[in-house]
Structure 1
Amino acid sequence: MTQADFKDYRTYLIPLLVAVFTAFALWIRILPALHLGSADILNLVSSDDPIYNLRLVELMLNNFPNYPWFDPMTYFPTGTHIFWGPLFTTVIATLCMLTGAHTRPAIIFIALLVPPLMAAVMVPVTYKIGEVLGNWKTGLFAAAFISVVSGQYFYRSLFGYSDHHIAEVLFSTIFCLAYIYVVRYTRTHTVDPADRSTLKVPALLSVAAGIAYFLGLMAMPTMILFAMLVGIFTVVQFMVDVHRKHETFSLLLVNAVTFGVAIVCFLIFGVKSSGFGFAAYTLGHPLAYLMLIVMTAVLYLLAQRLHLKEVYYYPLALAGIAVVGGLILFLALPQIYGELIGNLLGFFGQNYMSTTIQEARGWSVESAWSTFHFGLLLMLLGFGVLLYRCWSEHRPEHLFVLIWSAVILFATIQHLRYEYYLAVNIAVVGGLAASTFLERGWRDMILLLGITGKKTDKPAPATDAGTGSSKKQKKAPVKAKHVPSSARINAGNLAIFVVIVVASLLFAYFSLFLVDLNNDGTSDFLPAYTTANSYTVSMNGDWREALEWMNARTPATGMDMKKIYSSQNFTYPEQAYGVMSWWDYGHLITFLAERMPNANPFQEGVAGPTGAAAYFMATNESDADKILDTLKTRFVVTDIEMDVTKFLAMSTWYNSTAMATPYQLTMLAPTSSGSGSYQTTTINKQQYYMTMIARLHTLDGSMTDPTTAYYIEYRDAAAAKTSYPVITRAESQNATEARKNADAYNLRAAAGMHAMVGNPNTFVPAEQVTALQHYRLVHESPSNGAQSLMGAQEGIPDIKYVKVFEYVKGAHIKGDGVIEVPVVTNTGRTYTYRQQSVNGEFIVPYATSGNPYEVKTTGPYRIIGTGQSFDVTESAIQIGATVA
């Protein structure tokens, strides 16, 4: 095909390719729906924020077009203010009404379909950014890359993860497209403040950019990050323009109109929260946009004032204004200054809690490579291209994309959650690199392959110079033409051509398919096709079973799940109560159980003296009880993960300095007897078994005596010059003997040496654990949670995955010694609840008659060794009566 031929077909081929990439992006994301079969679609819904978004959709459908800015059905007894905008919810609710989806399965289907549809729209949007940044080739590469990129971007746009993240990416990208389009337009068309006809088109384009910005803001308040990007770009672009003696009015026009529109739209939309923070819809937003416009005006006026001065005057003046302006803001408006600094740290800083929240963790090199791999190489090359073109071509769109990509990259390094933003920059900047270097090496590849698209014209017959008559000539043999030096193959261009082709193909392949980079049998990242094709069930079945039981079998709260409540003068009904669990499960409790969690995945109700962390880390029951009394909590829901894998997170939220150290020690143990190599192992101290989470979930609230424990001698980390203490001796002994031996050893231990009693077995205490007096098991899920976590090993106890406890006053029984009662659970598991008397009294939580739950006693209470037995009624348990 000749070059002319291709140009004829390009009008059709480019849209066709973009359509193919778009269809592919949609298809790969709806694979879970294609594999659903007859299964319940609710099983596909992720159990944190997506399940809560379904609640918002149902609320809006029942109250359309009103949006629930306040929700009392979570973070009890306070209620929560919704901090993200209504755009994503409104899109889903509108589609539900247009398609007639009114049953829960139909609503869920539409809600789960919207993120893949938005990801599909991202393909042509990304193509257009690439085209504006480079050319149609850049656009095609960008469109291809965004259709296959994996990691957080893919996961959060997959059928099953219905959350506003993909809406944030889509509308922020649309804004960036609109903004770079208008700034490019103003550099290729005259913008003269004295000629109104030159202002019309850029003003209209800026209005479109302002509307795009506002739509992004309606998805999430963090859209202000892109206003900050514009601010950084504006300062740098003004310095470039002043240095090059270029007009600066166009940028003032663009920013004033764009963010003037954003201010007007925001004020029409209305302020939803008090204060000036940017994490919610406060007055801080329009004030920030106004400050951006004022800053641009100051930059313009300063440029006009200093246009005849030396070039270094301008940056020096800017630095002085920045320092003075910051000082004035600090002194005159300290609240706004604090919010600005606080939000900057929130975007780009880290705190101790970041390690306990997966999406807030920092981005390691390994994590970055496992997600984007060869896309990072292409992006790095793209940065080089952008820098070169900024230097040589002075195009503002290149500078904006460079700043946009650099800021998002830095934000992602600080917080993993911004991976879904960075995917766009990987695609666009990587696409620019691919198209640039392929164009550079294309001619050399053509020469190497001997391909040409031009036909050689036959030589004209020779003519007689004198007569002009034609003379017949013998056809001369064709000789090989000498290739001029200008047409010789450039080995460097050819090499980079091959590298780009290979890197692009590997990026696409690794993004789509599972590749074990470390050859260790584990997945190193989330490949798109593999993830989508195996994404069959997302919701934990045990949690669903337990919470659906709670919905049906526990007392009503007096709240209406379908009603939108106003925070103004709101009070809970008298029968309302809370459910204590770890924050991960708060939205499940709201949606499935229709009950009100004390903590939720917004990290509300987690920290502080009455937070979930303080409750589950409490080693004294009375301290835990005070928390539940304060929060009006009636039920506690635990799971095996809280007891084992999430224990570090809970202890970190409780005490960020000590973390799990008071409860567990990480130690180095020899891999075998006499070995010089070590492996880490976790030893549980007695304090671990005394925490509420261990006493509830592992021990069912019953008194538990130890059988065996480990006597451990160890050298502390400082003496051993290692990261962790080193175990020098470990021996399983009778628990009482182990304690005696440890105490004796520590009396005569050498410097740096110690002895302790502990247990690597999470489910066996090292010493006696006293009973809980006010907690009774009322339901447990069917699966063996210990086996789910640790596999089918010999000796794994039958500890169910999810357990529901009721917090009760408990009946009082006079007596001394140990009292016990046999219990059978709803799953058929049996155990004996035992309790040691305190001051001649027992406070028991289980009723032997009138119990409304499936977990029941199978006999009376008996005081061991006395022959005394007692029947306890349900009313005695609930009112705290004394049983004779």
Structure 2
Amino acid sequence: MNEKMRHLESKPSTSSLKLSIISLTAVTLVAFLMRMLSYASVTANGSITFTGYDDFYHMRRILYTASNFPHSLNFDSYLNYPYGFEIGWPPFFDLLGGLLAKVLGGGQPDLHTIEFAGALLPVLLGILTIIPLYIAASSVFDRKTGLLGAFIFAVLPAHVSISRFGAVDHHVAETLLSTAAYAFFILALKWAKDGSFSLTSLKTIYSEKKLVKSLAFAGASGLCLALLIFTWIGAPIFASFIVLYALIQTTINLKAGKNSDYLLICSIACLFSTLLFTIPLSAGSLRSGLEMSAMHLSWFQVFYVFSLLAGTFILWGFSLYISKKGMNWKYYPGILILVLGAGLLSLRIVSVESYAFVFEGINFFLGKGEYIGTISEALPLFLDAQGNLYLSPVLAAFGFCFPAALAALFLLGLEWKGENSKPEGVFFLLWTVFFAYLAISQRRFSYLFAVNVSILTAYLLWVLLESLNFETEARKLIKSGQTTGKNTMPVLQTGKETKLKAKSKQKMNNGSGLKKGQDPDYFKLVSSLLLFGLIFIPCIWMGSVIAKSTGSIDPEWQDSLRWLRTSTPETSYYLEPSETPEYGVLSWWDYGNWIVYLSRRPAISNNFQTGVQDSALFFTTDSEQEGKAIMEKLKVKYVIVDKLMASGKFGAIVELAGKNIENYVDIKTVNGEGGFETSATAKKGFLNTEIYKLYELDGTNLGNLRLVHESTAEKDDVKKNSVKVFEFVPGAKLSGTSIPSQLVTATLELSSNTGRKFTYQNKAVSDKNGSFEIIVPYSTENMAGGVNVSSAYSLNAGENITISGIQVTESDILKGNRVEVNLSKVN
């Protein structure tokens, strides 16, 4: 009898498990389809166009790793040209991309296979995140919340945007590994608490399965944290959260008179595992010596985790002392704050560099830094660049899930207050507050907060659905449909007896197929469906819009970079970038990764903010000599500018040049039809800048830069962001004599590769002897497929002195030859 009862009790559990597996499979399919909506736009024209800026450098590393597996690219001579740059990104994400490429390519992948693997990797990692999310939600709440939270996460735009096909960035790996680390830690807490984990229980741990499972889950959490450190340079902050939680939970336990051994043992096991795995994972990337750098994988990460581990032992020691002495619980946080202050002071004395790294990291997460203010994705979630309230980012990332999550957080705070708190619940709430702060301070961290928002929204939705008796009413509706279906069958049969029986049953069920009082409440059902719609429809709509959106690189840049790769001298060492290439390309840092990957040319500045100072000074200078000196110092051969650099990005360029925007534009706020509007009027200072002369004047008044290509128009013949490529050349010297102190102007008519006609001019004033020299960058010999001349040079000195038909060869331009012209003999 007992065996039979046990068998019957196990059936619902087995059935529930099967339902969970089926539901998770459905969630995975939905998540996969959402993230593959970008496939058409990413693979348009038979090639793969990635969706972001950093994606292109990740692809460079994946390309290198696939060719040199398992080695990763740690130093790149194509960055920060001509000095090269040591890459701070840890290599795990790119190693995964290289491994996937090797698998898909049968060990010898071609370029298309490598790019496809890189584009597919975020989709796979994004889908995998569903598993730890479900585990965390089910452990803190229940399976229903876990499943619904997984469905919300599958379509939430904040995560779809970083895990769609073609979004080759390590952010998706951060989300997966942080969620997995915290889900495992929650499981460790649950098993430890249920198994009454304590110091004495460690002696007989092998006989306690729950305690063994707890340590195993804590170890798995540590492994995930180590992999996270191997993925993102800012990852130690996620390990710090374990110690922060241990401090707060121990304080709660002391106040309630509870034991905290289980908590601190789990924390120590987790951090010890992190330390053990961090050392071998980082060993291959460590530089020689005992360097301590937070910007690269070094002994700093090992030392940091060791410090966290030591700090947890201190937490434990103080908690035991206060508990044994019966002291007031308030002493505990007070003493620990003093210990923390003493620790920071000691760190400053022992290693000023490590002390600086700690505060640089804190400033980074506070959204402060030299370059952070110029990065749009680092802006606060609710503010625009001018500091005005701006709701579009939060609605685009979360839809109505954000206010739902805030309401759920408030309800949980009330529900788990005081004696009702549970360790895993406190951990989840602190985890949520931590990630909420990151997302609100810098909108780019919305992808991390997406996990918590999904779970909280699912919790609130179930609270509302239960208040509407949704499950009960849904069962009634299903049962009503089944009963109605059965009652219609006898009507189709023949025979008097069957019809009478059917008629009798219908009377007994009041014609509804159900007993009295069992009719579904359609108001509650419709209300429940409206709640689902309110949550899911905006997310699905916005998620699909984001997934289908085209990549960050527009056709104008693609055209120009394609030309740069095929029509300029090839540089060396692209696939083995340990030696210095022949020349570099100067543009704004936003476009550096595009230049390196798509053009396969070295970039002066790129998205690591390398070479930013020189680039900013070049584009804002009003001195041709200063601009030339910068190009010669950096061995620049090509300069690329676009419309945005001469408009929307110009403010950031000025800021990073250390100059005042008010010297270049007059900014006023006026009351327009749509309210207050900001208008900017160019001043003389802007008209004299290098960026204005290049973009707006096609290089007029510059002697060493010539236009060699401008981007072609799109299919509708409307250019959205014209891109112009200039070549830096020695230039020919038109020299001679004229009237003393006379303005001499050289003029040349040209047409670009698009057929657009423009005029080049450069000027000089003759000296007291009448001598002048004008440097010109264009030859009068037409070059195939490029910018063509429509006439020879003409020189004008005053109203009545003009000479035309001056020929300048390409050799003159490239060798800096002197071309003599005597205006003094011209009448």
TM-score (norm 1): 0.78
- Please tell me the residue identity of whatever aligns with 2:78: M
**Quick one: distance in 1 between partners of 2:716 and 2:693?**
15
Offset of residue 73 of structure 1: 1.2
| Matched-pair contact (CA < 8 Å) for 2:367–2:441 | yes
CA distance change for structure 1 residues 502 and 291 in 2, over 3 Å: closer, same or farther?
Answer: farther
SS in 1 for 2:803: coil
**Quick one: distance in 1 between partners of 2:633 and 2:322?**
64
Within 5 A, what are the aligned runs for 1:455-854?
502-513=530-541, 527-532=542-547, 534-535=548-549, 539-557=553-571, 559-563=572-576, 565=578, 572=580, 576-607=582-613, 611-655=614-658, 658=660, 660-668=661-669, 679-702=677-700, 771-783=701-713, 788=718, 801-815=722-736, 816=738, 817-839=744-766, 840-849=772-781, 854=786
**Quick one: distance in 2 between partners of 1:554 and 1:246?**
72
SS in 1 for 2:611: coil
Offset of residue 653 of structure 1: 2.1
CA distance change for structure 1 residues 105 and 8 in 2, over 3 Å: closer, same or farther?
Answer: closer
Within 5 A, what are the aligned runs for 1:94-105?
94-100=99-105, 102-105=109-112
Moved more, 440-449 or 584-593: 440-449
- Please tell me the residue identity of whatever aligns with 1:73: Y
**Quick one: distance in 1 between partners of 2:781 and 2:57?**
39
SS in 2 for 1:779: strand
Deviations 1:93-132 (A, max 9, x none): 2222222262222222221111112211122221111101
Give the corresponding residue for 2:448.
421
Aligned: 1:167 with 2:173: yes
| Matched-pair contact (CA < 8 Å) for 2:133–2:150 | yes
| Matched-pair contact (CA < 8 Å) for 2:435–2:449 | yes
Matched residue count:
738
Offset of residue 137 of structure 1: 1.1
| Matched-pair contact (CA < 8 Å) for 1:46–1:161 | yes
**Quick one: distance in 2 between partners of 1:443 and 1:98?**
47
SS in 1 for 2:663: coil
Offset of residue 418 of structure 1: 0.2
Give the corresponding residue for 2:196.
190
CA distance change for structure 1 residues 505 and 211 in 2, over 3 Å: closer, same or farther?
Answer: same
- Please tell me the residue identity of whatever aligns with 1:136: R
Offset of residue 641 of structure 1: 1.9
SS in 2 for 1:783: coil
**Quick one: distance in 2 between partners of 1:354 and 1:239?**
36
Counterpart pick for 2:28 among 22, 31, 38: 22
| Matched-pair contact (CA < 8 Å) for 1:45–1:160 | yes
**Quick one: distance in 2 between partners of 1:358 and 1:677?**
24
SS in 2 for 1:166: helix
- Please tell me the residue identity of whatever aligns with 2:817: A
Offset of residue 213 of structure 1: 1.3
CA distance change for structure 1 residues 22 and 443 in 2, over 3 Å: closer, same or farther?
Answer: closer
- Please tell me the residue identity of whatever aligns with 1:823: L
| Matched-pair contact (CA < 8 Å) for 1:224–1:278 | no
Moved more, 351-360 or 589-598: 351-360
| Matched-pair contact (CA < 8 Å) for 1:360–1:416 | yes
5+ long unaligned stretches in structure 1? 454-477, 481-486, 488-493, 514-526, 566-570, 703-770, 791-799
**Quick one: distance in 2 between partners of 1:221 and 1:70?**
16
The structure with the greater share of residues assigned to helix is 2
- Please tell me the residue identity of whatever aligns with 2:749: P
Offset of residue 166 of structure 1: 0.6
| Matched-pair contact (CA < 8 Å) for 1:614–1:654 | yes
| Matched-pair contact (CA < 8 Å) for 2:69–2:99 | no
Offset of residue 251 of structure 1: 2.8
CA distance change for structure 1 residues 696 and 786 in 2, over 3 Å: closer, same or farther?
Answer: farther
Offset of residue 353 of structure 1: 3.9
SS in 1 for 2:327: coil
| Matched-pair contact (CA < 8 Å) for 1:372–1:507 | no
**Quick one: distance in 2 between partners of 1:579 and 1:95?**
32
- Please tell me the residue identity of whatever aligns with 2:632: D
**Quick one: distance in 1 between partners of 2:370 and 2:788?**
43
Counterpart pick for 2:307 among 286, 291, 295: 291
**Quick one: distance in 2 between partners of 1:316 and 1:92?**
47
Moved more, 346-355 or 64-73: 346-355
Counterpart pick for 1:333 among 334, 351, 354: 351
| Matched-pair contact (CA < 8 Å) for 1:825–1:856 | yes
Give the corresponding residue for 1:858.
790
Give the corresponding residue for 2:499.
none
Give the corresponding residue for 2:439.
412
- Please tell me the residue identity of whatever aligns with 2:79: T
Deviations 1:305-331 (A, max 9, x none): 111223333233223323333333333
- Please tell me the residue identity of whatever aligns with 1:549: W
- Please tell me the residue identity of whatever aligns with 1:248: S
CA distance change for structure 1 residues 77 and 564 in 2, over 3 Å: closer, same or farther?
Answer: closer
Give the corresponding residue for 1:368.
394
**Quick one: distance in 2 between partners of 1:823 and 1:154?**
48
**Quick one: distance in 2 between partners of 1:784 and 1:58?**
30
Give the corresponding residue for 2:142.
135
Give the corresponding residue for 1:712.
none
5+ long unaligned stretches in structure 2? 1-8, 206-210, 383-389, 481-507, 511-516, 518-522, 739-743, 767-771, 821-827
User: What do you get for the CA RMSD once the two structures are aligned?
Assistant: 3.2
Give the corresponding residue for 1:882.
818
**Quick one: distance in 1 between partners of 2:530 and 2:418?**
28
Give the corresponding residue for 1:400.
427
Deviations 1:256-311 (A, max 9, x none): 22222222222223153675343431222111111111111111111111112233
SS in 2 for 1:28: helix
Counterpart pick for 1:68 among 66, 73, 93: 73
Give the corresponding residue for 1:867.
803
Counterpart pick for 1:115 among 122, 143, 147: 122
Offset of residue 772 of structure 1: 0.7
Offset of residue 21 of structure 1: 1.0
Offset of residue 59 of structure 1: 0.7
CA distance change for structure 1 residues 635 and 100 in 2, over 3 Å: closer, same or farther?
Answer: same
Deviations 1:309-361 (A, max 9, x none): 23333233223323333333333433322211210111123347434212111
**Quick one: distance in 2 between partners of 1:293 and 1:696?**
56
- Please tell me the residue identity of whatever aligns with 1:52: Y
Counterpart pick for 2:156 among 114, 139, 149: 149
CA distance change for structure 1 residues 219 and 834 in 2, over 3 Å: closer, same or farther?
Answer: same
| Matched-pair contact (CA < 8 Å) for 2:584–2:638 | yes
SS in 2 for 1:661: helix
**Quick one: distance in 1 between partners of 2:230 and 2:475?**
53
SS in 2 for 1:65: coil
Moved more, 340-349 or 310-319: 310-319
| Matched-pair contact (CA < 8 Å) for 1:778–1:853 | no
